[in-house]
Amino acid sequence: MHCRLVCFTVAWLVGGIVSIQFANAATGRQSEESSASPVGTQVAMFELPNAYGKPVSLRDFVGKKCAAIVFLGTECPLAKLYGPRLNDLQAKFGDRGLQVIGINSNKQDSLTEMAAYVHRHEIKFPMLKDKGNVLADAMKAKRTPEVFLIDADRVVRYHGRIDDQYGVGYARDKKTRSDLAIAVEELLSGDEITHPTTEAVGCHIGRTKEVAEVGEITYAKHIAPIFNARCVSCHREGEIAPFTLTSYDDTQGWEDTILEVIGNNRMPPWSANPAHGEFANDARLSEGEKELIGQWVDGGMPEGDPDDLPEPPVFATGWQIGEPDQVIQMRDKPFDVPAEGVIDYQRFVIDPGWDEDKFVVACEARPQNRAVVHHILVYVIPPGGRNVDLRKVLVGYAPGSTPVDLDDGVAIHVEAGSKLLFEMHYTPNGT
Ligand code: HEC
């Protein structure tokens, strides 16, 4: 495979286009996890506002046999993916007495953002706003998504994940165990819950903290330069990452998850095996950079003096290789990416109409909807060729990759009559 393609694990269109230029022719630190299981404890009554500000109380559901209280966030990739699945659960078990209740305790998610999430993911169960993470604290909830299944006496009978299909950094083709659905079935049937506890995986709830902003490490002076250099290429509007990291406000509530993902080198995505030497474009943060971010969080995440802010990075818009000689669409209509699940590689063969040999000096593959394109590979199928020659990659795309732009005098030779194969890897994002 193309060595400059950094493929990262879970990932994510609609249409890919390739443009071509021809020669001559056209920290390890983590907030403490308490391991005491809440199973068997009773949840106190609560009342919280929904996305429209209307108060909703647990009392409103008296008469239901059980409720799945699920902590969610509007930007966490896992919380997005599981939105539709919770709708399905509500539809499946609603008549038999289940009520799904979504709770948003993230300080970074406003009521408006929560309403937008409900609308975008067509959420059919109540979504309530837990301002100041009071309920999350009372229930000791840590992640999104994290489920507490309670019975009619408000006693927690199951705690943990929804199922095992998606984790951070991976997705299985299928779930192998629908933990929540099984627990609901068992509870409604009066059976014992076979696995009352599983591990909830996902982002940390963005909590309100009473930490004085005393640190000397500030966002403006020390942290913004690191994020601009290492994160913003993906974590900005319209790019593949699920939330932006382009301003001080963007960082609020994400700190615990950021510390976790940089601590275990999940972010920035970089899968090259260090056993094979050093790479010039190694994306990982240095220990010094991680340490600075850690000190900044410990010091209360001070914003600092806006005069210290670096110039925002400038990204090429449009074609990075300059004006192309030819633009080739993957096909004449877009591909519909479903809201969830795992999609097999999609392959589209196109005849670029080349009736003479071509010498390609620059080439760029571009997704239309970056949020759901994990990667693109464009192969050359030589004339008369039946099988794709996997060595004949013309160009690839993955977030963070650069286009093919060859040095003077060097070109990729493509025979007259060749076709192009677009291999598309799409990754659903809950919409
Ligand atoms: C090459 C693109 C890219 C770069 C660079 C990048 N990210 Fe991400 N980031 C992503 C994608 C894509 C996801 C969603 C992953 C998923 O769906 O699991 C993500 C998710 C996250 C999450 C949510 C938790 C998770 O794992 O899903 C955090 C926090 C995060 N990134 C922080 C950072 C920080 C901090 C940096 C820089 C130090 C960074 N990222 C650099 C693409 C990137």
User: For residue range 146-178, what is the model confidence (pLDDT) as tens digits?
Assistant: 999 999 999 999 999 999 988 776 778 788 899
Contacts of 158 (CB under 8 A, 6+ apart): 39, 147, 148, 149, 179, 180, 183, 184, 187, 193, 195, 196, 197
What CATH class does 47-204 carry? alpha beta
pLDDT for 413: 93
Q: Edge to edge, what strands does the sheet with 373-381 contain?
A: 346-350, 419-426, 373-381, 393-397
**Bridge partners of residue 350, in order along the sequence:** 420
CA distance from start to end of the chain: 30
pLDDT of 1 higher than 70: no
Contacts of 286 (CB under 8 A, 6+ apart): none
- Check pocket membership of 206 for ligand 1, CB cut-off 6 A: no
Per-residue DSSP letter, 112: H
Cβ pair 19, 363 in contact under 8 A:
yes
Q: How far is CA 387 from CA 80, 350, 380, 419, in A?
A: 38, 14, 10, 11
Cis ω for the linkage preceding 126 (within 30 of 0): no
3 state SS of 96: helix
- Check pocket membership of 242 for ligand 1, CB cut-off 6 A: yes
Whole-number Å distance, alpha carbon 261 to ligand 1 midpoint, is 8
Contacts of 325 (CB under 8 A, 6+ apart): 20, 21, 22, 25, 26
Nearest CA to ligand 1 atom 12: 241
Q: Which of 235, 248, 282, 293 to mutate to test the pocket of ligand 1 (most atoms within 8 A of CB)?
A: 235
pLDDT for 194: 96
Whole-number Å distance, alpha carbon 280 to ligand 1 midpoint, is 21
Whole-model pTM: value is 0.80
User: For residue range 90-110, what is the model confidence (pLDDT) as tens digits?
Assistant: 999 999 999 999 999 999 999
pLDDT of 9 higher than 70: no
CATH 3.40.30.10 positions along the chain are 47-204
